[in-house]
Chains A and B, each alone.
Chain A
Amino acid sequence: MTRRADMAASPATPPPGTPATAGVWTAVCRYTDLVPERGAAALIGDMQVAIFRTFDGRLYALDNRDPFTGVHVLARGIVGSRGEAPTVASPLHKQVFDLRTGACLDDPRVTVIIYPVRDRDGTVEVWTPSG
């Protein structure tokens, strides 16, 4: 759980809450490659990360693996909101996850890992722990 952090902001320096654990920022695409209100998958080492750009321009990154089926598909879900929470719904069985925390809003037992993500001069970077 040390990998959890608040992903909302995207300044040039690592945002507050970036884990103290060793890790690296990896550039994955240009900001404009991302479609508003949709996700995209990125491969970092052997990790699959789902990156979302919401209507207000914010970026979020989650583990791409749907914890209910084990399939790497969360990036292909529908982005929306539930109350104040920005969300994505799994394209398989439609369970909804909070993009900010990775918590499943339909099953309190389940949370997916989230990753720090930022827009650095038009390049999207994702932080993943090393080792």
Chain B
Amino acid sequence: MSAHRLPERALEHTSMSEPTGGRLVVVGNGMVGQRLVEALREHDTDRRWQVTVLSEEPRRAYDRVALSSYFDGATATELDLVEPGCYETPGYALHLDEAVTGIDRAARTVTTSRHRVFGYDALVLATGSAPFVPPVPGRDLPGCFVYRTLEDLDAIRAAAKQAATRTRGRRAGLVIGGGLLGLEAARALRLLGLSPHVVELGPRLMPLQVDEGGGAVLRALIEDLGVTVHLSTSVAALSREHDGGMLATLADGAELDVDLVVFSAGVRPRDQLARDTDLAIGQRGGVLVDDGCVTSDSAIFAVGECACVGGRVHGLVAPGYAMAEVLADRLLGGTASFTGADTSTKLKLMGVDVASFGDALAATPGALEVTVTNPVRRSYAKLVVSDDATTVLGGVLVGDASKYAGLRPLVGRALPGDPVAMIAPVGDGAGAGAGALPADAQVCSCHAVTKDTITAAIADRDLSDVAGIKACTRAGTGCGSCVPLLRTLLAESGVAVGTALCEHFDHTRAELFAFARVEGIATFTDLIQRHGRGRGCDLCKPVVASILASLDHGHILDGEQAALQDSNDHVLANIQRNGTYSVVPRVPGGEITPAKLIAIGEVARDFGLYTKITGGQRIDLLGARIEQLPAIWRRLVEAGFESGHAYGKALRTVKSCVGSTWCRYGVQDSVSLAIELELRYRGIRSPHKIKAGVSGCARECAEAQSKDIGVIATEHGWNLYVGGNGGFRPRHADLLLTDVDTATLVRTIDRFIMFYIRTADRLQRTAGWVESLSAGGVDGLAYLRSVLVDDALGIAAELDAAMARHVERYQDEWAAVLADPQRLRRFASFVNAPDLPDPSVAFVTERGQPRPVPLPVPVPAPVRRAGTVAALEVIR
């Protein structure tokens, strides 16, 4: 084999020049191979090349970096990387399930597993790498897997499922290798219900990316998640147990009972084709190429993990992409060369942030290391600087990688400030903003996009949002870690990021609120004539309707305001997938009498409604047709119910536990407080829905910390939490006040809600709003406390008065409609047949209740518009 390992000068081509057109054959359709094809599609405008891609895999290129998201429910289709239409383009062909088995360099042909022969003028090897499986006895047993392809993941999933059928205790899985991929695999095992063990030969996890200090914090964080970590040891043998499980014996003598084993001990370049045809091979494997990706045969090229460039085989996608771009340029006659690539990494492993950039391990002679460790919050940050403390060389972040986007581009540049302040936790220093970056600094390392490329695109193409930057420059379309930086660059370029509500208003919701309040504007027409244009739309009309409701301009279905309401508010009910509505009466605090329960049951029975208990401790009645709504409400109102505002951007429920009245652990009467709060804030209109909870003791049975407003009883009073969220993006609420009495608590919640209503964006939950208050080094929570408690802005009296007015003027919206024949007329099924049910709506019975019959849909797949997430939320 040594004959293959030629020195680098073997790559000096003297006779033949590189080809610049004709038949191009690409072997392999992984991420890098596909990237090459797409670069050619973009730049080969003269159609110099006829491209044929041969891949042994059964499916086309997909995002292997995001492989683990497959276990979070991502589908193979979602991971697909191939641009639509790529292989429908004339001159571009992809053959799957067809491996190249040999290369005839003299004839310039390749032979495939389907016994076909393809001629080439240029041949590209993009065969990637294969998992390295150390020679452990038993490694070929069933139950041993690698972690590389979707097929591997399917096999692991099937094995985990099978393990579940065996009757043993807690099931376990063993991951061999504690690197990046090994931890991904451990996470996957955990998602599959197995207790993961990780065995790493090195003295710490992720030894290539993280130093000793970071490794210690990382281990603590990973073990918190139920992963058992075995360091500085290896697996000596694997054997099969009688019950179908496996026994792993470690080098230190420990024995582990496991159900399956995943090898993730690194990868090796797949260079066999090159070896077979006597191309030069690197010292430690990999097809030897020069900085133009040319192998020892000037008609053959190699890119990605199968290539050895500059004496190194790169195992990350960013260098692979860079090589693909270089080769595309070379194939079109350019002179680009590969000069190394950013090997920075930022990832979230099981929710744990890990980032490593530049010379993370301080290998540069004389390098100085500045570290900030916070063992309480389990975070570690290190900045590596040159021996004279003038240049940033690299760094490591574990536990909190929020500084990564600002720090990584500084590698190789002058240290802009005090290094400790740069890596200190938020609030203690200014941090590194995008403004501190030099123009040629790389912002997106996945696609090698520099700051000046982005700022030029913003200026030249008049970009106004992150989506535009992604489309024009590809920045932010890789790992996504630079997206916050893109937003900052937009702001620094003078673009008001996303503040325009829609095409009719250039203002934010908060600005419109201020206009309406200060100028005394009471109608949409007045507001749009003074501050907007056109006739409004489904985005701005409901926002203005909400603002006018908050400023107390009468019943939401009065006068012009009626036409503004979102389609659910317009009928005071929540539309469902078949066009019928749900009806949710308010049940304050979740407390309900037997008589009222019976009344709800009778209404549901008499109108044929489906009933379900909601998460907010009330009862949802579904399947009401529009013309039935008033009759349903009349029965409910007679039984003492009122609207629960389940259709509105409004207070929904205040959930409670039974509290000290009944519970032997309770320390305060959580039910009474929940009822008081729900009755106080019912009907208030806000930028988004508001949910609250009150728990009677620290056991927190009301889950108050997942609510916009959470109250937890203490021995001495109440603790107030704000900004919690469940749903799409869960967030634990922040503790705002401790041990306060009821009067202080209610006053602070009054102000919190009113301040939120005045200043939040459209459809911004309190969670995002509270986070948005932390900007430019300001601690948002401290700021909020200063406004609400210490009246730092001098608006507390106004906020209090606004809430007092709301409480005083509240009226039940259902009862108000029932009392007004004019409003009632809107609840007609047909203007010419007001009580006739929509003939297309039908139900079948399932588990003793009605359910909608699905309707035929003529359009194959709805194209969803931006903002659909918010729209979907309305429907729920």
Q: Is the C-beta of B251 less than 8 angstroms from some C-beta in chain A?
A: no
Given A38-B563, A70-B858: A78 and B863 interface contact (C-beta under 8 Å):
no
Contacts of A67 in B (CB 8 A): 857-859
B540 to chain A, nearest CB (A): 8
Asked if B839 is at the interface of the complex by the 8 Å CB criterion, the answer is yes
Known: A78-B566, A106-B865. A96 touches B838 (CB 8 A): no
**Does residue B875 face the partner (Cβ distance < 8 Å to A)?**
yes
Is B570 engaged at the interface, CB distance under 8 Å to the other chain? yes
- A51 an interface residue at 8 Å Cβ cutoff? yes
Which residue of A43, A72, A73, A109 is within 8 Å of B859 (Cβ)? A109
**A36 contacts partner chain B, Cβ-Cβ < 8 Å:** yes
Query: Using an 8 Å CB-CB cutoff, how does the interface string of B488-504 with A read, 1 for contact, 0 for none?
Result: 00000000000000011
Q: Is A91 an interface residue (CB 8 A)?
A: yes
* Binary contact track A83-105/B, C-beta < 8 Å → 1, others 0: 10011010111111000000000
A7 to nearest B CB, angstroms? 17
Further contacts, 5 of them, CB under 8 A, given A46-B839, A80-B534, A93-B865: A40-B828, A78-B537, A80-B504, A94-B871, A110-B859
Q: What residue of chain B has the Cβ atom nearest to residue A28's Cβ?
A: B832
Is the beta-carbon distance between B563 and A94 smaller than 8 angstroms?
no
A71 touches B578 (CB 8 A): yes
Name which residue of chain B comes closest to A124, CB basis.
Answer: B831
Q: Select B830's contact among A36, A43, A70, A94, beta carbons within 8 Å.
A: A43
Q: Can you spell out 17 A-B residue pairs with CB atoms less than 8 angstroms apart?
A: A29-B832, A33-B825, A35-B562, A36-B560, A37-B535, A48-B840, A51-B831, A69-B862, A71-B840, A71-B855, A72-B840, A76-B626, A78-B566, A80-B504, A80-B535, A93-B862, A107-B862
Residues on B lying within 8 angstroms of A by beta carbon are 503-504, 534-538, 540-542, 560, 562-563, 566-568, 570-571, 575, 577-579, 626, 825-826, 828-833, 836, 838-840, 855-859, 862-865, 867-868, 871-872, 875
Q: Residue on A with the closest CB to B864?
A: A93
Residue pair B836, A43 in contact (C-beta under 8 Å): yes
Q: Which residues of B contact A37 (CB under 8 A)?
A: 535, 560, 563
Given the complex of chains A and B, what is the CA–CA distance between A68 and B860 in angstroms? Answer: 8
Residue on B with the closest CB to A69? B857
Interface residues on A, range: 35 or more
B579 near A81 with CB under 8 A, answer: no
**B575 contacts A94, C-beta separation under 8 Å:** no
Once the chains are docked, how many angstroms separate the CA of A83 from the CA of B825?
Answer: 32
Given the complex, which residues of A lie within 8 Å of B856, measured CB to CB? 70
Find out whether the CB atom of B563 lies under 8 angstroms from the CB atom of A79. yes
Q: For the complex, what is the distance from the CA of A81 to the CA of B503, rounded to whole Å? A: 9
> 10 tightest A-B contacts by CB?
A91-B567, A70-B855, A80-B537, A89-B538, A37-B563, A81-B535, A71-B579, A40-B831, A78-B538, A68-B862
Check A82 against B537 for contact (C-beta < 8 Å): yes
Distance between B870 CB and nearest chain A CB, rounded to angstroms: 9
The smallest beta-carbon distance between B852 and chain A, in angstroms, is 9
Residues of A within 8 A of B535 (CB): 37, 54-55, 79-81, 86
Complex interface: chain B residues within 8 A of A59 (CB): none
- Selected from B560, B567, B832, the residue in CB contact (under 8 A) with A43 is B832
Interface check A77, CB cutoff 8 A: yes
Q: Could you say which of A38, A48, A68, A94 contacts B838, with CB atoms under 8 Å apart?
A: A48
Closest chain B CB from A113 CB (angstroms): 12
